[in-house]
Structure 1
Amino acid sequence: MKNTLLSINDIIYRVCIGIAGLSVLIMTLIIPWGIFARYVLGSGSSWPEPTAILLMVVFTFFGAAASYRAGAHMAVAMAVDRMPAQVRRFAALAVQVLMAVVALFMIFKGFKLCATTWNQFVGELPFLRVGISYLPIPLGGIVTLIFILEKLFLGDQSHRPVMRFDVIEESEGAA
């Protein structure tokens, strides 16, 4: 059961990295087009900037979830490292509980924000609902909460190598 959950979370982690990476890649292609259109063609396109901002939101929330699981999130441990072991364990648990509170806030308030703005459209992208543009907030919260629960119940996975898909298939075939 533990290995199944870890392999599912490995897939979620890789998807988060893929989404974040693809967002950055598309941004790096869109921004030069906006600059080229404005300064070389003499007429700026209206869509590159809002599209890049939306992609930055996607990158931020999915990248943050992946960063959390990888143990690459920002942490100031100077004070905690000087505490006794028992207090450090309590502080680590308190951090996870607070992270879960933040993730739950992102989920519930993010879905409320999506619902509230669903009938509005992005001015520069009239085919895109504002509610959809805010969807990375609650989705990123869900993924972050999954990784928080994983850390609480299955331990820190940041030093474990992520399971490859071909290893999953081989281990399932052997069972």
Structure 2
Amino acid sequence: MAAFSRLLDILARIVIVLASAAMVLLVAITGWMVFGRYVLNDTPTWVERAAVLIVLGIVLPVAAVGVRERFHLSVLGFRDALPAPARWAAELASDVVVGLFGLAMAWWSWELVATSQGIRIPLLGISQIWTYLPLTLCGALITLFSIEQVLLALRHRHTEQRAALSLE
């Protein structure tokens, strides 16, 4: 389990570093668009479409890291009001559902990738698959990170039960 968590830690760091670099690229091409529009009076047409692709490449994988780091959107009031065993079960069920969602997202977006291989994005001249690959990556990462959360929760529960037995 420790090796799996270390591997996912490295993967999460790589996602954050790549997203940071993509953010710098996004700022640079947006700056180029503004310069082209207001200084050159000739707006580069490819910038807007490229910016959308970069935003997809930033937001989706980082959202998956949010599943691992637990900084994603959640409603905690109901869960926190539950007694400890029910809270644990609710968290476990939530992690399982999120993992299944990630798996479905990866699966169905991969179908989009497969069906759009021959299509080109007109302004950029690259394959349409670059629109859908971030979805596939995000789904796969959500699935992996959810599996880790489920395994950690089960291990923590097992450790708590063993500690409770040894106290008796």
Q: Identify the residue that residue 152 of structure 2 maps to in structure 1.
A: 154
Q: Identify the residue that residue 160 of structure 2 maps to in structure 1.
A: none
Once the two structures are superposed, the pairs formed by residues 74-113 of structure 1 within 5 Å of their partners are 74-113=73-112
Once the two structures are superposed, the pairs formed by residues 22-41 of structure 1 within 5 Å of their partners are 22-41=21-40
4+ runs deviating over 3 angstroms: none
One-letter code aligned to 2:81: R
CA distance in 1, matches of 2:75, 2:98: 15
Deviations 1:136-157 (A, max 9, x none): 111111111111111111349x
What's the secondary structure of 1:74's corresponding residue? coil
Name the structure with the higher helix share. Answer: 2
CA distance in 2, matches of 1:83, 1:94: 14
CA distance in 1, matches of 2:87, 2:152: 18
Q: Is the 8 A contact 2:92 2:153 kept in 1?
A: no
Task: Say what the alpha-carbon RMSD is for the aligned residues.
Answer: 1.4
CA distance in 2, matches of 1:82, 1:8: 34
Q: Identify the residue that residue 5 of structure 2 maps to in structure 1.
A: 6
TM-score (norm 1): 0.83
CA distance in 2, matches of 1:11, 1:22: 17
CA distance in 2, matches of 1:43, 1:149: 49
Identity %: 28
Q: Identify the residue that residue 145 of structure 1 maps to in structure 2.
A: 143
CA distance in 2, matches of 1:8, 1:98: 23
Q: Identify the residue that residue 46 of structure 2 maps to in structure 1.
A: 47
What's the secondary structure of 2:123's corresponding residue? coil
One-letter code aligned to 1:22: A
CA distance in 1, matches of 2:90, 2:5: 25
Higher alpha-carbon deviation: 41-50 or 3-12: 3-12
Deviation of residue 65 (structure 1)? 1.4
Q: Is the 8 A contact 2:22 2:58 kept in 1?
A: yes
Unaligned ranges ≥5, structure 2: 155-168
Deviation of residue 94 (structure 1)? 1.4
Deviations 1:41-73 (A, max 9, x none): 011101111111001001111111112211211
CA distance in 2, matches of 1:155, 1:16: 24
TM-score (norm 2): 0.86
Deviations 1:79-123 (A, max 9, x none): 111112222122111111110121011111110011111111111
One-letter code aligned to 1:56: V
Unaligned ranges ≥5, structure 1: 157-175
Q: Identify the residue that residue 17 of structure 2 maps to in structure 1.
A: 18
Q: Is the 8 A contact 1:108 1:138 kept in 2?
A: yes
CA distance in 2, matches of 1:19, 1:137: 16
Q: How many residues align?
A: 154
